[in-house]
Structure 1
């Protein structure tokens, strides 16, 4: 394989990311300028600046993460991951962030579901998928993780009750900075979460795709299975992504 075969798509993606990132930053920067020139009291101004800076920081961090996933060619460390334990950790964080009760986040896979992959990268992918499901679900909706063994793989899927998307958008939702019709600028993120999730899953030899159900959207993951003979229950600390401190 020629270097140009690899570098061509990568350079094109980075150039597109740079154009999109520049465009996305204009809106919060414009709001900051308006806020600074307004006659808001100091407390309101601080709140506005803090909100806009936090949003821009998330945008830049997500864009850098997506660029890294696309360009990094070094094989990721491979390990056995129990999906049920990983889900419990991620849902605890999701409930704290969103205010959702744990009763609305169901896990239908049992302790026999083990996959092989990189823990940090898989955790990031599943966390982004979960956040997307919560963001687009109605009040009182239920998000469910389920799956089945399929030969040497586990087919996992996450379903929400958000009504789904148009069939023509089932692939578009994985493109960076894509917002579907009816979305407002900055509403619920910048359209990078699912793109990062797909890149993260693909980096460990898996695949991620979407389909509609009768009630919402289903995000499917196909990951390498890990056969466990005798394994003690993993500790919460062993499942925590790097930099994540658990209570």
Structure 2
């Protein structure tokens, strides 16, 4: 910013404007949701409203927390328009606008759970095809549910179901690891798309690591308290060479919680 005179001047003018209006500021307030009068305690009902929207057409929703402060969590993918080169600013503006539209639509649905909902977008990545790149990201939304009785999860079974309910983890296998106390390990094979023979290992690894980060983010979003100690790493990474000279990375990841 310091190297952009115009941007720096504009930002300073904005700060001056804020300071000049300091006497007109009001106290911020965030009303707490009326937990006793929420419309629903069922994440399937929440999901049905998400899926009536364009952005949430394929949303997946879970119960993220139980008890008096029960919460729902919904997630999905957003894809942007193909371009000739990555443009993070344009992609972010597009995705942010879509999330704002999603929230506005749901807030006016008549289901008051959405009045206190928060949404965010994850890391913006670009898929390359021929000479074009297409931005995509995970979005997640969470909000209050009416009271739900606590459910005791069985770790390997719950973990495997959740991991397999993600874009990356469809072939995951989970099992108990008694040597680490009562923890669970989930192994997931991950492969990148095919790269040209001129692609560097660093370029391919960036794609591979992005896939693992997406897996971690999507799983954690489902049930934050259940996956609060989620830790994922690669056990092995191999470079696969194709007969035509192209190549890709194939890895096995291991997640513990």
User: Does TM, normalized by the shorter one, top 0.5?
Assistant: no
- Greater gyration radius: 2
TM-score, normalisation: structure 1: 0.30
TM-score of the pair, normalised by structure 2: 0.29
* Bigger share in helix: 1
Larger RCO of the pair (alpha carbons < 8 Å, separation 6+): 1
Q: 1 or 2, which has the higher strand percentage?
A: 2
